[in-house]
Amino acid sequence: MDPYKQRPSSAYNTPFWTTNSGAPVWNNNSALTIGSRGPILLEDYHLVEKLANFDRERIPERVVHARGASAKGFFQVTHDITHLTCADFLQAPGVQTPVIVRFSTVIHERGSPETLRDPRGFAVKFYTKEGNFDLVGNNFPVFFVRDGMKFPDMVHALKPNPKSHIQENWRILDFFSHHPESLHMFTFLFDDLGIPQDYRHMDGSGVNTYTLINKEGKTHYVKFHWRPTCGVKSLLDEEAIRVGGSNHSHATQDLYDSIAAGNYPEWKLFIQTIDPDHEDKYDFDPLDVTKTWPEDILPLQPVGRMVLNKNIDNFFAENEQLAFCPAIIVPGIYYSDDKLLQTRIFSYADTQRHRLGPNYLQLPANAPKCAHHNNHHEGFMNFMHRDEEVNYFPSRIDPAHHAERYPQPPALYTGKRERCVIVKENNFKQPGERYRSWTSDRQERFIRRWVDALSDPRVTHEIRNIWISYWSQADKSLGQNLASLLNMKVDI
Ligand code: HEM
């Protein structure tokens, strides 16, 4: 018998109960007692083990995006983009790569309703032949802040009040009143799109700017976008109350039931690219995560399709233990200097080591599906079977060597060490354009949500004034409407 083939799995179940160490349990109902009424003996190892396991069932929930649903499927290339990238999984139209996707809400706990006004996470793990690629995105194409230094404070403001444990608008509006770059994101969050109908009917976006690099070493900045083939649908505020009131897991259920019924959700993947040699020609900085790249000048280019055709077998193994990290990339795709992305490169692997332990990448959902090798070994819960005698590098005995070199963007940096804001902030233009592109009823709903938020009695006069001033700078009539509904004056 090869003990290492007998991995813990329901495939190796005995038809009778056993302890974790495999000894038969003849009674899984009654504790071992002295006499028929007790007391219970500490030597009832099975009872103690059963309780100890139960006591430790929960792991720390994600600090954000705690509530989520996942599914599996494949990504298939439909268009040749080899002129842009040497990524193996993007090489030939027709090629398929297995994926696992996790959709999520952001702010509230693991068991919170799925009908809250909140961005939605859209994280895709591609199991490519050259290692995993994690595209950890959201349903909106922009983000609240452009410098990762602000992220923990931002999350604290959006999360429930530490005293009352209630999410409160006055705290959110206080924090963001210091950060007008958030306006664009708020034109998504307070728009009808702020509550997606479910996970199947929403867009996805990589949000951050990445870099594609081809065989010759030519780079392009890139944004990734997912578009659902069944269209984008949202819940209006009253619908959300009704749907959430009757089922607080409606989006998880919709995803699971659709896949079980063979109605497989599908998204098309598009990219937008900018040649870094031309990055100065726009009125925004391509590395600014609060900006969209206008599609009329930077058109969407089709790349492939993703189909989710398999439900997960086990929620804990393939949702709770699933771990994404924007630092996980493959040859042909690289980061950019987008400051938010740079911060994310550190934060995710760090949180996974805390949440799941140092060997989280050995968990089946996270492990690469291609052969892999290095000398990172041991540590808590390391269950990789190894029988090598050489665990150092280099060695004249172990033939393992460096992988073949692959193209990477050249790094040519000069500059002072400093902490700055970007030059082209341009915080108001795109939010204003977006607002003006809506029908009047959509604009009215947006205004009503802002009036509600700003009417929180703990929003101070000063903060209300700042928001009216910000929205006036985005669109004069929007500011005036807000001011008159709140009995205020526009004071820019
Ligand atoms: C500096 C900014 C950011 C930091 C420090 C940050 C940090 C984190 C952390 C610590 C988690 C929890 C991960 C886990 O426990 O599994 C997380 C989850 C997540 N973040 Fe961020 N985040 C940032 C910005 C963003 C942005 C811009 C996006 C959208 C592109 C995003 C999308 C997600 C998603 C989708 C998840 C959930 C992944 C999953 O389903 O497991 N985050 N983030």
Secondary structure (3-state) at 77: strand
pLDDT at 6: 66
Per-residue pLDDT at 391 exceeds 70: yes
Q: pLDDT tens across 66-81, in order?
A: 999 999 999 999 999 9
Q: Which two tokens stand for residue 252?
A: 């998880």
Per-residue pLDDT at 259 exceeds 90: yes
Per-residue pLDDT at 3 exceeds 70: no
Ligand 1, residue 355: give the atom nearest the CA.
15
Ligand 1 centre and the CA of 64: distance in Å? 7
Per DSSP, what are the bridge partners of residue 261?
Answer: none
Q: pLDDT tens across 265-291, in order?
A: 999 999 999 999 999 999 999 999 999
Helices of type H across 198-249 = 237-246
**Residue 343 to residues 210, 323, 324, 352, Cα–Cα distance (Å):** 13, 17, 15, 15
Ligand 1, residue 121: give the atom nearest the CA.
35
- Select the more confidently predicted residue: 491 or 261: 261
Helices of type H across 8-80 = 45-55
Ligand 1 centre and the CA of 336: distance in Å? 17
For a pLDDT cut of 90, what percent of the chain falls above it? 95
pLDDT at 103: 99
- Find the mean pLDDT for residues 427-450: 98
Residue closest by Cα to atom 23 of ligand 1: 344
Ligand 1 centre and the CA of 136: distance in Å? 7
Helices of type H across 356-457 = 429-436, 440-454
pLDDT at 10: 81
Per-residue pLDDT at 490 exceeds 70: yes
- Test site for ligand 1: of 348, 351, 355, 366, most ligand atoms within 8 A of the Cβ: 348
pLDDT at 4: 64
Per-residue pLDDT at 492 exceeds 80: no
Mean confidence (pLDDT) of the chain: 96
Q: Which two tokens stand for residue 443?
A: 């604009």
Q: pLDDT tens across 146-182, in order?
A: 999 999 999 999 999 999 999 999 999 999 999 999 9
- Test site for ligand 1: of 61, 64, 252, most ligand atoms within 8 A of the Cβ: 64
Per-residue pLDDT at 219 exceeds 80: yes
Rounded to whole angstroms, the Cα distance separating 392 from 202 reads 47
Q: pLDDT tens across 43-52, in order?
A: 999 999 999 9
Q: How many CB atoms lie within 10 A of CB 70?
A: 24
pTM of the model: 0.96
Q: How many CB atoms lie within 10 A of CB 149?
A: 12
Per-residue pLDDT at 226 exceeds 70: yes
Secondary structure (3-state) at 476: helix
Band (pLDDT 50/70/90 cuts) for residue 13 is: confident
Q: pLDDT tens across 334-384, in order?
A: 999 999 999 999 999 999 999 999 999 999 999 999 999 999 999 999 989
Q: How many CB atoms lie within 10 A of CB 451?
A: 13
Q: Ligand 1 pocket by C-beta < 6 Å: which residues?
A: 62-65, 68, 102, 104, 121, 123, 136-138, 143, 148, 151, 207-208, 322-324, 340, 343-344, 347-348, 351-352, 355
Residue closest by Cα to atom 8 of ligand 1: 348
Rounded to whole angstroms, the Cα distance separating 330 from 171 reads 40
Sign of CA dihedral 67, 304, 144, 440: negative
**Residue 106 to residues 66, 86, 114, 264, 273, Cα–Cα distance (Å):** 7, 33, 10, 25, 28
Per-residue pLDDT at 1 exceeds 70: no
Q: pLDDT tens across 124-134, in order?
A: 999 999 999 99
Write down the catalytic residue from 138, 139, 366, 427. 138
- Test site for ligand 1: of 324, 346, 353, most ligand atoms within 8 A of the Cβ: 324
